Structure 1
Amino acid sequence: MDGVLQALGFENYKKREVLVQSFLEELGLFREQLDVQGVPVGCALVVLMAPSGQLRQPQLLVKELSHCVSLQGCPKIFLLLSSGLKGEWMDSDPSFGEMNRKAGSCCPTYTAMGWGASPPAAWEPEAFLLHLGKICSQHPHWSLLQLLTELFCRVAEESAENTYCPIFRTSFRGTLCLGDGPWRPESDPGPSTQYDLSGTRAALLLAVIQDRLGARHDVAALRDLCQALGFKVSLRTNPSAQAFREELAQFRKKLDTHKGPVSCALVALMAHGGPQGQLLGADGEEVQPEVLVQELSCCQALHGHPKIFLFQACRGGYRDPGVGPRALPWLRAPPAIPTQADILQIHADAPGSLLSTPGGSGQADILTVYAAAEGCVAYRDEKGSDFVQTLVEVIRANPGRDLLELMTEVNRRVCELDVLGPDSDELRKACLEIRSSLRRRLCL
């Protein structure tokens, strides 16, 4: 781990071995230390290590650091590592200590570790860390998301039967390059880093239009974009919850029986969302988004090929007021920033462990983009949704660029918008969540 942190540019850091139940408390202390230093903080990295299945609510830890005033508008990176080891937690040695963390470090790092009944002889994510350090050292000018995509490729290729792949979740609004050299997005992309899209491209659009103002505009815009990008488009409006599942199953079967090679699939799901992120069919019944993603991940024709999911739906009822100054008509000021922006989570479960997040182990080559952060409202008006309309605009302007870079740009623009919801007199903010287990660059 020490070599990885140095390769990433985090030379000063603090390391603690604690009970997993104390992770939240430790993150709170870390946040307080950053806020009282009174010096600029450019980026923070938190590494959390725990046996598989023990780190059950990482979002609480992420939320804790998102409240850090010193880190408003700055990237916050969480590296979540788990092994297949399971056992009872034991008290840790408090003298494990702190390691040369200097006050005023612009890139502070915090590492928390919790072990079971006995430390493992060879920790299972070791290959992940070794590859991460090596790639960072070899390509310091690459963006962090580009580094992770290459890393996922190497880790997956070395796993048993090529079934294991990590996942990252990002709400970054821009490119993050941790190396000393300038960022160069197109030069030195590396060998075999781009998906081959020479085969058939297929798209499925499922949209609930009834009682969803502007939804027809989203459907039309996405359909036209997909056709312009060479996708064969299937469309169904006002599906019931059961029809969502049936349409995905039929779509998968159609691809599996397709005579020629299939190189890419895109699925757009547009509907009202439930309080826990469920999709609501036209009949008001619920379907879990993860079930729909899982259906297509079983498609044999798409094995090793990219699968894109776009979710235009609320994921809860929270209307984010944002943080920071608000731009006013008579005063030029930076716009408020969505509370959940600028966060990157890297999930690396051990092979064979219980999935901690959809799209994790065994589900490589998936890109999922949500119109709202977890628990938040997704906005839409008579012209369509901010997410879909911005996405179409950005991709049409740069169809040949890497899709992850384009989605980051979409998020930047969505985050800049101030939204006045139908049941609120105050401006609100929105932020995308982008999940990726892609192993190559995806250029449509």
Structure 2
Amino acid sequence: MEQPMSPESPQNHDVADAKPVSETDAFPFGPGKSKPHSTKPVASTIQTTSEFYSHVYKMNYPNRGKAIIINNKTFNPNTGLNERNGTDQDASALCCRLSELDFDVDLHHNLKAEEIKNTLKKAADSDHRDNDCFACAILSHGEDGFLWGIDRMIPINDLMEPFKGNKCLSLAGKPKIFFIQACRGTKFDEGVDMNVADAKGFMDVEPQFSLQKIPSESDFLIAYSVVPGYYSWRNSTNGSWFVQALSEVLMKHAQTLDLLTMMTRVNQIVANKFQSNTSNPDMSEKKQIPCVTSMLTKEVYFKSK
């Protein structure tokens, strides 16, 4: 549990003193509507038969791949959004963890919506043939289905679109991993009381290449800091609950566990370790659970290069 917090409200995240404060990555008004996206035919990719039917992604390309971190802390005054104190700690932790996993990390601060789109579009247009995978972390305010640039909202789907198998052929069949620290609504998770008792006594020939077709939507993992509809909590000194837990798990288990198992460990830490503690009773003793959406078709292991 965190130390006592200063009072605050969802509409006012300003920190009055230097004490750690629980905050939410929310904005004070509802999102607009995004235009529907058309669906294009699935893309074709070439793999060996053994690679195609393996239960583990091939992770022995020359490079691990590109990782992009977008850290939005301060927002334009006309947005009405408060500064996201503690997010620099999140960005620093993720930069360290992803670098340790051999990613080529690019860290960007305070990007406008169009700059976010252009940054990710440029990454998707790059040549990933020698890379294992792609990773991206976005730290910002948000609502379900939307993230904030420092100037306006942007649909999350618009950011994923360039990386789909029919758009980014050099990443087709490879993991595309997104970590999103942002609110997805305005509800609080009240939690539920649990009575917990201490347990006592209880062939050698490589097949030929074959042409296979895969879904363009496959091979994504999107790890959200919270389930749809809820606030996502962030400590103004230590960083967000989700990224703190993610950093801890990657540091301890990246060499031994697959990615989905690690994300389950992250869920457990956020659910059990953290609880808001503020002088405002309406915001105190709240809980949070991350949400992982996986379209992965194999297991992801980050073995050292």
Q: TM-score, normalised by structure 2?
A: 0.68
* 2:140 paired residue number: 271
Q: Structure 1 vs Structure 2: percent identity of aligned residues?
A: 30
Residues 267 and 160 of structure 1: is their aligned pair in 2 closer, same or farther, counting only changes over 3 Å?
closer
Task: Return the alpha-carbon distance in structure 2 between the equivalents of residues 421 and 301 of structure 1.
Answer: 48
Q: Deviations over 1:116-161 (max 9, x none)?
A: xxxxxxxxxxxxxxxxxxxxxxxxxxxxxxxxxxxxxxxxxxx986
2:227 equivalent among 373, 388, 397: 373
Contact 2:182 2:225 in 1 (8 A): yes
Residues 242 and 233 of structure 1: is their aligned pair in 2 closer, same or farther, counting only changes over 3 Å?
same
Contact 1:394 1:410 in 2 (8 A): yes
Verify: 1:289 aligned to 2:156, yes or no: yes
Verify: 1:195 aligned to 2:57, yes or no: yes
Task: Return the alpha-carbon distance in structure 2 between the equivalents of residues 318 and 196 of structure 1.
Answer: 40
Residues 268 and 161 of structure 1: is their aligned pair in 2 closer, same or farther, counting only changes over 3 Å?
closer
Contact 1:372 1:433 in 2 (8 A): yes
Secondary structure at 2:160 match in 1: helix
* 1:304 paired residue number: 173
The Cα shift of 1:245 comes to: 0.7
- Which structure has the greater CA radius of gyration? 1
Residues 376 and 425 of structure 1: is their aligned pair in 2 closer, same or farther, counting only changes over 3 Å?
closer
* 1:220 paired residue number: 92
Contact 2:42 2:216 in 1 (8 A): no
Task: Return the alpha-carbon distance in structure 2 between the equivalents of residues 212 and 218 of structure 1.
Answer: 11
Task: Return the alpha-carbon distance in structure 2 between the equivalents of residues 248 and 425 of structure 1.
Answer: 35
Residues 290 and 421 of structure 1: is their aligned pair in 2 closer, same or farther, counting only changes over 3 Å?
farther
Residues 282 and 397 of structure 1: is their aligned pair in 2 closer, same or farther, counting only changes over 3 Å?
same
Verify: 1:244 aligned to 2:102, yes or no: no
* 2:9 paired residue number: none
Task: Return the alpha-carbon distance in structure 1 between the equivalents of residues 176 and 103 of structure 2.
Answer: 13
Contact 1:277 1:375 in 2 (8 A): no
Residues 402 and 324 of structure 1: is their aligned pair in 2 closer, same or farther, counting only changes over 3 Å?
same
Task: Return the alpha-carbon distance in structure 2 between the equivalents of residues 403 and 434 of structure 1.
Answer: 11
Identify the structure with the greater helix proportion.
Answer: 1
Contact 2:220 2:295 in 1 (8 A): yes
Task: Return the alpha-carbon distance in structure 2 between the equivalents of residues 209 and 197 of structure 1.
Answer: 33
* 2:245 paired residue number: 390
Residues 442 and 321 of structure 1: is their aligned pair in 2 closer, same or farther, counting only changes over 3 Å?
same
Secondary structure at 1:380 match in 2: strand
Task: Return the alpha-carbon distance in structure 2 between the equivalents of residues 224 and 253 of structure 1.
Answer: 25
Equivalent residue runs for 1:123-142 within 5 Å: none
Verify: 1:437 aligned to 2:299, yes or no: no
Q: Deviations over 1:375-417 (max 9, x none)?
A: 1111101210111111111111011211100100110111112
* 2:277 paired residue number: 420
The Cα shift of 1:286 comes to: 0.4
Structure having greater relative contact order (Cα 8 Å, sep ≥ 6): 2
Secondary structure at 2:230 match in 1: coil
Secondary structure at 1:317 match in 2: strand
Q: Deviations over 1:204-261 (max 9, x none)?
A: 111102210100000000001111000001111101111111111111122x3x5x51
Task: Return the alpha-carbon distance in structure 2 between the equivalents of residues 160 and 209 of structure 1.
Answer: 37
Q: Deviations over 1:158-188 (max 9, x none)?
A: x98669xxxxxxxxxxxxxxxxxxxxxxxxx
Residues 369 and 160 of structure 1: is their aligned pair in 2 closer, same or farther, counting only changes over 3 Å?
closer
Secondary structure at 1:443 match in 2: coil
Residues 315 and 412 of structure 1: is their aligned pair in 2 closer, same or farther, counting only changes over 3 Å?
same
The Cα shift of 1:426 comes to: 2.6
Structure 1 residues without counterparts, runs of 5 or longer:
1-158, 164-190, 326-332, 336-359
Task: Return the alpha-carbon distance in structure 2 between the equivalents of residues 161 and 246 of structure 1.
Answer: 23
Task: Return the alpha-carbon distance in structure 2 between the equivalents of residues 161 and 282 of structure 1.
Answer: 34
Verify: 1:318 aligned to 2:182, yes or no: no
Contact 2:271 2:288 in 1 (8 A): yes
Residues 290 and 425 of structure 1: is their aligned pair in 2 closer, same or farther, counting only changes over 3 Å?
closer
Equivalent residue pairs, number: 223
Verify: 1:206 aligned to 2:77, yes or no: no
Residues 193 and 324 of structure 1: is their aligned pair in 2 closer, same or farther, counting only changes over 3 Å?
same
Equivalent residue runs for 1:133-212 within 5 Å: 192-199=54-61, 200=63, 201-210=65-74, 211-212=83-84
Contact 1:205 1:236 in 2 (8 A): yes
Aligned-partner residue type, residue 133 of structure 2: C
The Cα shift of 1:422 comes to: 8.1
